[in-house]
Amino acid sequence: MSSVIEPARLRLAQLPTPLEPYDLPGNTPTLWVKRDDLTGTGLTGNKVRKLEYLLADAQACGATRVVTCGGIQSNHCRATAIAAAQLSLSCHLFLRCDAPPPDEAPTTGNLALDRLVGAEITFITHDQYRDRAQLMAAAAGPKGYVIPEGGSNALGTWGYLRCVDELRTQWRLPPSAIVCATGSGGTHAGLAIGVRRRELDIPVYGVAICDDAPTFQARIAQISAEACDRWPQLPQIKETEIRVVEGYKGGGYAVSHPDELADIASVARSTGLLLDPVYTGKALRALMHEPGLFGDRPLFVHTGGIFGLLA
Ligand SMILES: Cc1ncc(COP(=O)(O)O)c(C=O)c1O
């Protein structure tokens, strides 16, 4: 397994990120938090780990332009736009929104940063978003490189294979479980493949922040199958082996309930950890409200999203 040749990678993230212990409010075991919210300032969060591989590939392909998509406050789109600016690539974002703000309207959060770094932005409706692959391919042109939603494909998932190796140099005792927020599946896939690749007996849980368990199991198994096609020495993760925790998406993608916001505030006040309302704030609730699921030494991957808190 260890003889797999790692694909080319750019150095964009501040690595290694710290692994720190926290005591959450309530009667929960000490939580080890992998601070991937500290991967950078503009590049904060999990997406930059995937972009290190995806943008290395874009450069190797001779691309001068990157095209990607996501929700109007997508962390992935913001990270792509900022990294593209850093690498002198142009960037075109397809952002999902049924009622786009006028160009001159003030914007907040990730969208404000997309504009600040000069990304070209096309707003598309939820219906149009179903055809995003075709829209992005058409916008890419001959020198364009298309990155799928969330950077979640076989190449991007290497970001979290590598994160597992980083973690192994940091923990004194292996955790009883590794937990992350799951939105497009690449982070969960990378952690699961990375753990299996090193023959570690640690369950990996993704907390669904949208969609349902069967949808994510199928998506993550597909990423794993694609990774095995490309790098046959990697272990394959089957649908039935993928652990998705349901019950925390609340009102749905990017919809916040007062109870969720109250938990974000209580964690911030008691630990100083800043969670975002769309991903980490929902996912960490699983550890707060069902600690029994994850054993006595859980590890949470804080995947960032801070600008969503300011949107
Ligand atoms: C802050 C944050 N956390 C978690 C996720 C989920 O990661 P993934 O898309 O790899 O499932 C995302 C993106 O979707 C994100 O922006």
Task: Sketch the domain layout of the chain as residue ranges.
Answer: 19-45+153-309, 47-151
Q: Is 175 in the pocket of ligand 1 (CB under 6 A)?
A: no
List the pLDDT tens digit at each of the 311 positions of the chain.
457 789 999 999 999 999 999 999 988 999 999 999 999 999 999 999 999 999 999 999 999 999 999 999 999 999 999 999 999 999 999 999 999 998 888 899 999 999 999 999 999 999 999 999 999 999 999 999 999 999 999 999 999 999 999 999 999 999 999 999 999 999 999 999 999 999 999 999 999 999 999 999 999 999 999 999 999 999 999 999 999 999 999 999 999 999 999 999 999 999 999 999 999 999 999 999 999 999 999 999 999 999 999 99
How far, in Å, from the CA of 181 to the mean position of ligand 1?
6
Of 101, 73, 113, nearest in space to 278 by CA: 73
Asked about 74 being catalytic, the answer comes back as: yes
User: How far is the C-alpha of 306 from the C-alpha of 308, rounded, in Å?
Assistant: 5
Using CA atoms in the order 185, 166, 40, 256, what is the torsion angle rounded to 10 degrees? 40
How far, in Å, from the CA of 38 to the mean position of ligand 1?
15
* Options 2, 3, 74, 152, the catalytic residue: 74
- Chain-centroid distance of CA 244 in Å reads 15
∠ at Cα 147 (142, 152), nearest 5°?
A: 155
Pairing mode of beta strands 19-22, 31-35: antiparallel
Counting ligand 1 atoms within 8 A of each CB, the residue from 46, 75, 161, 205 with the most, and so the one to mutate, is: 46
For residue 182, give the ligand 1 atom closest to its CA: 11
Of 114, 43, 111, 112, nearest in space to 81 by CA: 114
Q: Is-same-fold flag (19-45+153-309; 47-151)?
A: yes
Q: Is 73 in the pocket of ligand 1 (CB under 6 A)?
A: no
What separation in angstroms does the CA of 208 have from each of 33, 56, 158, 216, 293?
Answer: 19, 29, 21, 8, 15
What separation in angstroms does the CA of 207 have from each of 60, 63, 145, 176, 290?
Answer: 34, 35, 30, 16, 12
Nearest-CA residue for ligand 1 atom 16 is 75
Placement of tokens 């939820």 in the chain: 126
Q: Is 186 in the pocket of ligand 1 (CB under 6 A)?
A: yes
Counting ligand 1 atoms within 8 A of each CB, the residue from 36, 38, 184, 193 with the most, and so the one to mutate, is: 184
Answer for the pair 21, 31: CB distance below 8 angstroms, yes or no: yes
Predicted TM-score (pTM) of the model is 0.97
Q: Is 144 in the pocket of ligand 1 (CB under 6 A)?
A: no
For residue 183, give the ligand 1 atom closest to its CA: 11
Pairing mode of beta strands 65-71, 90-96: parallel
Domain 19-45+153-309 = CATH 3.40.50.1100: yes
User: How far is the C-alpha of 56 from the C-alpha of 123, rounded, in Å?
Assistant: 27
CATH for 47-151, options being 3.40.50.1100, 1.20.120.790, 3.90.1150.170, 1.10.760.10? 3.40.50.1100
Q: Which helix (H) or strand (E) holds 22?
A: strand 19-22
